[in-house]
Structure 1
Amino acid sequence: MSTIEKIDPVQATTETPTGTAPAYTLGQLVAYILRLGALGFGGPVALVGYMHRDLVERRRWISEADYKEGLTLAQLMPGPLAAQLAIYLGYVHYRFLGATLVGGAFVLPSFLMVLALGWAYLGFGGLDWMQAVFYGVGASVIAIITLSAVKLTRKTLGTDRLLWALYLVSAAATIITETENVLFFLGAGMVVVAARWRPSRLRPPAATTAGCFALPLAMTTPVAVPLNDLLLQIALFFTKAGAFVFGSGLAIVPFLYGGVVKEYGWLDDHQFLDAVAVAMITPGPVVITTGFIGYIVTGRVGDPWSGLLGATVAALATFLPCYFFTIIPAPYFKRYGKRPGIVAFVDGVTAAAIGAIAGACIVLGRRTLFADGWTLEVPKLVLLVVSLGLLMRFKKLPEPVVILGAAVVGLVLWPFVRP
């Protein structure tokens, strides 16, 4: 699916009165979001565009001002952009109940899809056709992530030398260690805050600034819950992952790789790429891959109900930070959201996150193209190059189409390349 690009929150087209009674019921909004979550291919940029077109311009349920505030908050906070915007729009007129129901409706369709794919993956993963599909898809996934990293880099860093330095250091660290350190993300944010510090300008209230850092750290604190060891590990790891997804939904990919593959060994490299591919051929955020991963990890050690439990825990742990990062600051965002200190921190974290994506492209690409670490798999290289060429030549070509095409090619090639 598409990368998250910076959306200009000041584009104005249609205004509706602010402060008036809503022209729609909560049920109507939830039904619309549920349909968008089920059919909304094209990535977060397309999804936020659909919401503006349908809710602001056509139906006039949401005012332009409320939409702009929600979009700005979604860009500033960690988490998947489109999901956070949907949650904020649910909050506008129906507060916490609206935010909760809308957020659930947005994620539910893609979650059900990854559950079905997880069941098929575990049940039929040993069959030739399943291996053949993912043989082709893996290379295309690398192409999509690579192009996403390029677009994000161009869109976000500009000519700021400090952001470029943080980006390059983060990319190099990811390539060398094949993992990430969340503390580096936070440190990058603090470096930019210090570099841009102007005592006369940056005076956010102490409670506000502390809250920006305390919430993510608090959410990583272990909580006593009645889960077995594996489910507890999943809950804590994916909560931490969801709390630090800055810059793009794809920012979670290298973070997940470091934990799921390198630290815990829940999946191997090929299975991890399969999980990313599953997220890209379904509507909704890339982050929904956590549900697929949770299903695979727990489904292998139990029955399908164990997989369902693991998927639910992983998805909730990932999306709850996104939910809280939207509804908690929502009432205060108008007052504090544009303070230079907060903007500087997010700029630094975003630069480091995009650098990690770039580094992950090299790490995952090397492991995908070189089966045994040394031998280049030429068919995969060709698929990668062709996928890149198609996406660059046809700007509006949906990425799921490329993924599905690569799957067909994998089915054709598999009899000739199988080990």
Structure 2
Amino acid sequence: MQQDDAKTVTFGEICKTFAKIGCLSFGGPAAQIGLMHKIIVDEKRWLSEARFLHALNYCMLLPGPEAQQLATYIGWLNGGLRGGVAAGLLFVLPGLAVMLGLSTVYALYHNVGWIAGLFFGLKAAVLAIVVQALLRIGKRALTSPFHRIIALLAFLALFCLSLPFPLVVVCAAMAGLIRGRFATMDLSPRAARSAPLALKSVLLSLITWLCIWLAPLALLSLMSGHDRLLDVFTFFARMALVTFGGAYAVLAYVAQVAVEHYHWLKPGEMLDGLALAETTPGPLVLVLSFTGFLAAFRDPGGLMPVVAGLMGGLLTAWATFAPSFLFIFAGAPLIERLRGHVLVDAALSAITAAVVGVILNLSVWFGLHVLFAQVVQRDIVAAIGFSLPMPDWATLNGAALVIALVTTVLLFGLRLGIATVLATAAALGVLIRFMA
């Protein structure tokens, strides 16, 4: 599908390019988006800078993994439906395969000394990587004092008031619309020369991908003895519709529900899963497949535990990633019609700024929970729900602090790659465990 400044490329080239991106996309959404920008915009020139950012802003607005949605959007722009499907799948499949393998190792051997040490080191390294992601996204998204204020207010709303992310997104979008309305009176879309929107095609895409997404639900409902797999799919299907802000934003909620309500995981295991996700290519939201794996592994329902775990991980991935195709193939044609509209661009850029506040909130959350064994929520102004998470300084983990500082120096000082930094952190974790 060629649209204005988007180039039409061969299906084989799309597959080759996104297979490469899928295998190299370490380091979370900031690094993945940066990698796609470098390859798609700078090297191959499939899209212009403005077109890339327009697609990125729309993907930031959606629930779910924004990097995979961006890959699907780019594939759709340059290769139509099959290009979008190929790009979205190839971006995810390498990391999913590695994640399922690591989840199997974790479930079977994580109590062995060197395995526990390896995960301890990776967990401490996550902190520096999250901070790096925050700085990279912030540099790209916070282009004016207005956007920096939006990011700060989003952080305070989440960190101090515990407001839901969708409410923060709506408020940011409204602020962007108001600012855009007063900034200019030219409200006409500058992309009016694009082809008319085929509503019938959009509706067909919506119905088709909705059926594909929910097909496992129908099959599991007809099968007996697999209640755990059904619970896993239904939970993560619901999560797929509300996981704004990517893996960092959903992690705290999923960890709380999986540990306290369903008892699928033990406290702290979600951070182990995030550390695993950091070692694999692909979206960080693959950490949810780790959760689904352990949930089914520990209640196999007559299956072999590893087989049940693999099914749980795959069903989680299906529930998480299939909606991205629905959002892109049904929504992108409309977004393309609105490309260049000053109000739409203003709203999308404000939402992107709010996401920076989300990542800042979770950077602090990770820092507290990685470095301290105990963190409590203390009311500051109880009447308005203003509270702050405060660490118990006596529970500071010195080894985790050392590894976090070393990885910070390697990332920011020596500018080493993610793979090298994680390997170093894992080795330090094993060494500390051995010495202990």
Q: Show CA shifts across 1:188-213 (max 9, x none).
A: 23333455565787999xxx9xx9xx
- Please tell me the residue identity of whatever aligns with 1:405: T
Give how far 1:239 is off.
2.9
Q: Distance in 2 between matches of 1:93 and 1:52?
A: 15
> Counterpart of 2:257?
259
Q: Distance in 2 between matches of 1:40 and 1:308?
A: 23
> Counterpart of 2:309?
307
Q: Report the more deviating stretch, 321-330 or 40-49.
A: 40-49
Q: 1:284 aligns with which of 282, 304, 308?
A: 282
Give how far 1:154 is off.
6.6
> Counterpart of 1:409?
428
After the TM superposition, which residues 140-159 of structure 1 pair with which residues of structure 2 at under 5 Å, given as runs?
140-149=125-134, 152=137, 156=141, 159=145
Does residue 392 in structure 1 map to residue 418 in structure 2? no
**C-alpha contact (below 8 Å) 2:121/2:428 kept by paired residues:** yes
Q: Distance in 2 between matches of 1:246 and 1:95?
A: 26
> Counterpart of 2:169?
189
Post-superposition, which runs of at least 4 consecutive aligned residues in structure 1 deviate over 6 A?
A: 199-204
Q: Distance in 1 between matches of 2:176 and 2:281?
A: 39
**C-alpha contact (below 8 Å) 1:295/1:309 kept by paired residues:** yes
**C-alpha contact (below 8 Å) 2:403/2:425 kept by paired residues:** yes
**C-alpha contact (below 8 Å) 2:217/2:233 kept by paired residues:** no
**SS of match in other structure, 2:160:** helix
> Counterpart of 2:370?
365
Q: Distance in 1 between matches of 2:65 and 2:289?
A: 15
Does residue 353 in structure 1 map to residue 358 in structure 2? yes
**C-alpha contact (below 8 Å) 1:190/1:345 kept by paired residues:** no
Q: Distance in 1 between matches of 2:158 and 2:6?
A: 47
RMSD: 3.9
Q: Distance in 1 between matches of 2:362 and 2:283?
A: 16
**C-alpha contact (below 8 Å) 1:280/1:286 kept by paired residues:** yes
Give how far 1:244 is off.
3.8
**SS of match in other structure, 2:26:** coil
> Counterpart of 2:100?
115
Q: 2:13 aligns with which of 14, 21, 28?
A: 28
Give how far 1:250 is off.
2.9
**SS of match in other structure, 2:269:** helix
Q: 2:83 aligns with which of 98, 116, 123?
A: 98
Q: Show CA shifts across 1:221-252 (max 9, x none).
A: x9665254322332233234333444454333
Q: Report the more deviating stretch, 236-245 or 65-74.
A: 65-74
**TM-score if structure 1 supplies the norm length?**
0.76
Identical columns (%):
25
Q: Distance in 2 between matches of 1:98 and 1:197?
A: 33
Q: Distance in 1 between matches of 2:51 and 2:405?
A: 42
Pair 151,33 (structure 1): closer, same or farther in 2 beyond 3 Å: closer
Pair 326,255 (structure 1): closer, same or farther in 2 beyond 3 Å: farther
Q: Distance in 2 between matches of 1:166 and 1:275?
A: 26
Give how far 1:108 is off.
0.6
Q: Show CA shifts across 1:275-333 (max 9, x none).
A: 00111111122111222221122122222111111001111111123222222211111
Q: Distance in 2 between matches of 1:163 and 1:90?
A: 30
Pair 264,18 (structure 1): closer, same or farther in 2 beyond 3 Å: same
**C-alpha contact (below 8 Å) 2:249/2:362 kept by paired residues:** yes
Q: Distance in 2 between matches of 1:29 and 1:18?
A: 18
**TM-score if structure 2 supplies the norm length?**
0.73
**C-alpha contact (below 8 Å) 2:289/2:314 kept by paired residues:** yes
Q: Distance in 1 between matches of 2:175 and 2:6?
A: 43
Pair 314,386 (structure 1): closer, same or farther in 2 beyond 3 Å: same
**C-alpha contact (below 8 Å) 1:186/1:349 kept by paired residues:** no
Q: Distance in 2 between matches of 1:55 and 1:116?
A: 30
Pair 223,164 (structure 1): closer, same or farther in 2 beyond 3 Å: same
Give how far 1:137 is off.
2.0
Q: Distance in 1 between matches of 2:13 and 2:39?
A: 12
Q: Distance in 2 between matches of 1:348 and 1:82?
A: 16
Q: Distance in 1 between matches of 2:38 and 2:349?
A: 31
**C-alpha contact (below 8 Å) 1:17/1:63 kept by paired residues:** no
> Counterpart of 2:220?
226
**C-alpha contact (below 8 Å) 1:251/1:354 kept by paired residues:** yes
> Counterpart of 1:4?
none
Aligned residues: 380
Q: 1:130 aligns with which of 115, 122, 129?
A: 115
Q: 2:153 aligns with which of 161, 165, 170?
A: 165
Pair 363,267 (structure 1): closer, same or farther in 2 beyond 3 Å: farther
Give how far 1:85 is off.
2.2
**C-alpha contact (below 8 Å) 1:192/1:344 kept by paired residues:** no
**C-alpha contact (below 8 Å) 1:202/1:340 kept by paired residues:** no
Q: Report the more deviating stretch, 397-406 or 152-161.
A: 152-161
Q: Distance in 2 between matches of 1:316 and 1:117?
A: 18
- Please tell me the residue identity of whatever aligns with 2:422: I
Q: Distance in 1 between matches of 2:289 and 2:434?
A: 31
Q: Show CA shifts across 1:10-39 (max 9, x none).
A: xxxxxx994899442x23322331232123
**SS of match in other structure, 1:328:** helix
